[in-house]
Structure 1
Amino acid sequence: MSPATAPIVGLVGCGVTGSRAVAHLVARRVPVAVYDPRPGLGVRRQGVVVVDDADDLSVCDVVVLCQPAPHAALAQRLLTRGTPVVSIGDDVDDLMAMLALQPLAVQHDAALIVGAGMAPGLSGLLARSLAAQLHTLDELHVAIHGTAGPSCARQHHDALGDTALGWHDGEWIEPPGGSGRDLVWFPDPVAARDCYRAALGDPLLLHRAFPQASRIAARVSATRRDRLTARLPMLAPPHASGSIGSVRVEARGAAQHGERVTVIAGAAGHTGDLAAAVCSAVVLRLLADGITPGVHTPGDDALDALDLLHHATALGVRVQEFTGVARATSW
């Protein structure tokens, strides 16, 4: 493909995840135009152009939203101009607003992919791969650990103090954030962490992708201090470059002959790296093959989740699957 015909990707928000996504795209010789709302910030490297206004990116072949929430208003403006959009946002209210853009996206013949980060995002790809191993899918349980950068850390802090969201036997439930303690074993090196319900977007998007599942829950790791201060301003500044993170998905269901089956998969690494790999895989897939107009999530049937997961692993995601077998003891 010659430079004159090469597709151009626009990106808003060049923080921890955004800068890593830019690196993935530039490494594959995809020209990138960047807008960062913070003055003086941006990426300076070959193959990258910095613009002064997010609306200038509407001429790009696809625009990636990596800035802090909300994303819905900018996504709406871009879709109105027929520009495909990929969002890594995980704020529940913002996700609901973007899901409501389905008629607009179809009207303007453009695709909007929401929740294309670590969780939601990689969690949906893992859920799809696990569901393929079951004859009947009944439950999905997601647990996440770690944050990509300061904005992500603040979002998770607020989520722990907000009302959680879950799907339980055919209806939405809203348990208080910080409740529902569960000891979760993440892939190494994260290992065991206490996790609690929070205002996370995974149940919302997973229910859309897996309507047959009767129960969908999501939890985030937290310390006792995290829970006590969740409804207060953050007492300590978040780490500028993020932290090691992990996502773990557990799918419960039945095999072909009715026996109960539980399958588990996850991934661990720098949170920004995991989110950027999934985001970049979605963008590259959209550029190569296109996606049906409308609103989609990485776990939807409309996207080839296993192919996206394969591309994410090529970009650095290392998927691990639990292979142990539970058995009775003589105790």
Structure 2
Amino acid sequence: MIGIFGAGVVGSRVAESLSVELQTSIAVYDSSQIVAQRLARRLSETNALIKATSRSELHRAKVVVLAGPLPHTPVAREFLETGVSVVSTSDDIADCLNLLSLSDLATENKVTLIIGAASSPGMSGLLVRNLSKAFDSVDEVHIALHGTGGPACARQHHRALSGQSIGWHDGEWLRRPAGSGRELCWFPEPVGAYDCYRGELPDPLLIKRAFPELVRVTARVSATRRDRVFARMPMLIPPRAEGGMGGLRVEVRGTKNGERVVDVVGVAERVGQVAGVVSGCVARSIGAGEISQPGAFVLGELSLPNEVLLSRVLACGVQAHSFVRA
């Protein structure tokens, strides 16, 4: 059985991807039981084995996808202690660091903890690993994200512009004010170009873990002038139920045949959709025994079947676009 903790935008997309691709028992839990029941009823025509359940019932699952609001660390600890593997969609630096500290607990209980299985981080790590195959060596990775998933994701985007960004630069971690460092980033159509700024994002931390050889890693997020001006104030306007079309841009720099090479790939899709598909594919692999090693991992690490995961994500309708020079 695969459990889903949270039936919001991301949790719904996880359930949809698993219902279509896999005829297995799916248990959905949400703090609002009505929301979980509505989701299970909507998808019951596709998969009759999906059901809304209680929190305690999720402890019987083989793997649980944490798709609810942050923080995920206390919930992950709860499931790891009972021998349940966990897939987290967290995109908060502090939460991801705390999740990484649960590696020994996961190893002790012989279960797997996957951290940052969303759009960015998550899909970004899979794309970096895929792009790196075309290089003799890679030394720089630069990530840019546009858009948000559900309300919780929108609030996290708001917080990311008010904190401090973290980046890996020539052997040391550098902190810069979030909202600084404007850079025009081009995403696949129909998203187009957006000004992106440094943000308090966990991508550099997780990508550096998966690619220790990197010399520079940065992450930026798109923002309007209003986003930056009001970033340090409480959200004055309630977030929408789901964001519009989002984008992910992954730029990898390295060497090939003795020459300096830059390769860029992008994704244009709703952020919640990408996060749901990625985490759903990871949960599916754990449920099938394709990922069985105990401990904490991030997508892109060599010990994971990244090529299989990426192919499944693309098969679920998420398209990767390669930037081609004129």
Normalised-by-shorter TM-score class: over 0.9
- Letter of the structure 2 residue corresponding to residue 189 of structure 1: P
- More strand as a share of residues: 2
Q: 1:16-41 CA distances to partner (integer Å, 9 max, x unpaired)?
A: 11111101112221211111123532
Conserved 8 A contact 1:17-1:272: yes
Give the aligned partner of residue 52 of structure 1. 54
Q: Which moved more, 1:299-308 or 1:138-147?
A: 299-308
Give the paired residue count.
316
Q: Which moved more, 1:30-39 or 1:129-138?
A: 30-39
Conserved 8 A contact 2:128-2:252: yes
Give the aligned partner of residue 224 of structure 1. 225
Give the aligned partner of residue 268 of structure 1. 268
Conserved 8 A contact 2:132-2:138: yes
- Letter of the structure 1 residue corresponding to residue 53 of structure 2: V
Give the aligned partner of residue 75 of structure 1. 76
Give the aligned partner of residue 178 of structure 1. 179
Note the residue ranges of structure 2 that are not aligned, 5 or more in a row. Answer: none
Alpha-carbon separation, structure 2, partners of 1:267 and 1:305: 17
Alpha-carbon separation, structure 1, partners of 2:139 and 2:127: 15
Give the aligned partner of residue 314 of structure 1. 315
Q: 1:104-144 CA distances to partner (integer Å, 9 max, x unpaired)?
A: 11111000001000000000011111111111111000000
Alpha-carbon separation, structure 2, partners of 1:10 and 1:281: 13
Give the aligned partner of residue 24 of structure 1. 17
Q: 1:215-263 CA distances to partner (integer Å, 9 max, x unpaired)?
A: 0000000001100000011122211122211111000111132x10001
Q: Percent identity?
A: 45
Q: 1:250-306 CA distances to partner (integer Å, 9 max, x unpaired)?
A: 00111132x100011111111111111111111111122232111111111111212
Equivalent residue of 1:174, what SS?
A: strand
- Using the size of structure 2 for normalisation, the TM-score is 0.94
Q: 1:156-181 CA distances to partner (integer Å, 9 max, x unpaired)?
A: 11111111111111111110000110
Alpha-carbon separation, structure 1, partners of 2:283 and 2:8: 18
User: How far is the alpha carbon of 1:51 from its aligned partner?
Assistant: 2.0
Equivalent residue of 1:44, what SS?
A: helix
Alpha-carbon separation, structure 2, partners of 1:290 and 1:254: 31
Conserved 8 A contact 1:273-1:316: no
Note the residue ranges of structure 1 that are not aligned, 5 or more in a row. Answer: 1-7, 326-331
Alpha-carbon separation, structure 1, partners of 2:168 and 2:23: 42
Give the aligned partner of residue 302 of structure 1. 303
Alpha-carbon separation, structure 2, partners of 1:223 and 1:179: 12
CA RMSD of aligned residues (A): 1.1
Alignment of 1:242-281 (within 5 A): 242-257=243-258, 259-281=259-281
Equivalent residue of 1:75, what SS?
A: helix
Conserved 8 A contact 1:247-1:266: yes
Alpha-carbon separation, structure 2, partners of 1:249 and 1:306: 17
Alignment of 1:79-228 (within 5 A): 79-228=80-229
Give the aligned partner of residue 10 of structure 1. 3
Equivalent residue of 2:35, what SS?
A: coil
Equivalent residue of 1:142, what SS?
A: strand
- Using the size of structure 1 for normalisation, the TM-score is 0.93
